[in-house]
Amino acid sequence: MAWKGLHLSRPARLNTADGQIVVSQDDGEARVPLEDVAFIVLDAPHATLTSTLLSACMEAGVVIVSVDARHTPNGIALPFHSHHRQAGVAATQIALGEPFKKRCWRRVVVAKIENQAAHLESLDRDAQALRAMAKLVGSGDPDNVEARAAREYWRGLYAKFTRDDASDLRNKLMNYGYAVARAGIARALVAYGLLPALGLHHASVTNAFNLADDVLEPFRPFVDALAASRAQDRETTDDLSIDDRRAMAGVLLSNALVGREMVSLLVASEKAAEGLVQAMEGSSAALLRLPSFVAPKAGPP
């Protein structure tokens, strides 16, 4: 089972040999078993890879994330490797009724709000209002409790903060982490035969990852926690450093609880995809398994 991620921040040449990813740089060569790798972030201006490696990554279910000139993730190479029931799962997904999708969306929103509350509580902040809001979410969230909870959450997390301020270091960190988490979730969805363009709630005709964006919501507080720890005691106008990007690329390796099991977010994404298929086939939103927030351990600054 894949459990590693590669973040390349220096010029490198990537190939494959003997079932391994071969990373060649000016100061030497490193090899990583292909079967151990779940994602690769190409965060270097002069990283090159062979078509043989690209094909091997798609066969092995490795997702590749590219970045733009400002080091912001801007693309995904997604493995559509064959699921043994690809057509059957897709047919079930296409046929889903609105009541079922609304029940699933309620579970997603409740999980997101509860994770936001747990994040605040891990910082010794008051989260009673968020806990109360989670109990008010109805099927499909017709009252948009999610948005109200978000306002409460950001007020509790930061004294002065605007989520859409692209120049703010905190937003830069979160956006980087969200993009990596989204790629990992998309990888898990296709591995279980799901079509990432067909969402439960998100339904943009221009978005190829509506379902990934649905499932991403309860994962966001994990990214927020990592970003907050990186931004601590720094100027909000700072740019992302290589260490920042490397840390945020590793968000999928953070711990989470799924039921009573402690797993990485990478594994949690797979359990979420598996649970969604089971929920669809069993017509029961209760079968959807989503991660519960675990406070990250203090690491080096």
Q: How far is CA 69 from CA 42, 73, 183, 186, 241, in A?
A: 12, 10, 19, 24, 14
Closest CA to 36 of 21, 25, 51: 21
**Residue 83 pLDDT exceeds 70:** no
Residue with tokens 């009541």: 99
Q: Where are the domains of the chain?
A: 4-77, 86-293
**Residue 164 pLDDT exceeds 60:** yes
pLDDT in the model for residue 34: 93
pTM: 0.91
CATH number of 86-293: 1.20.120.920
**Residue 71 pLDDT exceeds 90:** no
Residue 268: CB atoms within 10 Å: 28
Residue 270: CB atoms within 10 Å: 24
The secondary structure of residue 198, as a DSSP letter, is S
* Residues in the chain, total: 301
Judge whether 21 and 32 are in contact, CB under 8 Å.
yes
Q: Decide which of 2.60.40.10, 3.40.50.970, 3.40.190.10, 3.100.10.20 is the CATH code for 4-77.
A: 3.100.10.20
What does DSSP say about strands 261-264 and 63-67: parallel, antiparallel, or unpaired? unpaired
- Mean pLDDT of the 26-39 span: 92
Closest CA to 148 of 129, 174, 176, 169: 129
Look at 120 and 81; give whichever has higher pLDDT: 120
**Residue 298 pLDDT exceeds 70:** no
Residues near 208 by Cβ (< 8 Å), separated by ≥ 6?
A: 196, 197
Coil, strand or helix at 132: helix
**Residue 217 pLDDT exceeds 50:** yes
Coil, strand or helix at 294: coil
Residues near 235 by Cβ (< 8 Å), separated by ≥ 6?
A: 169
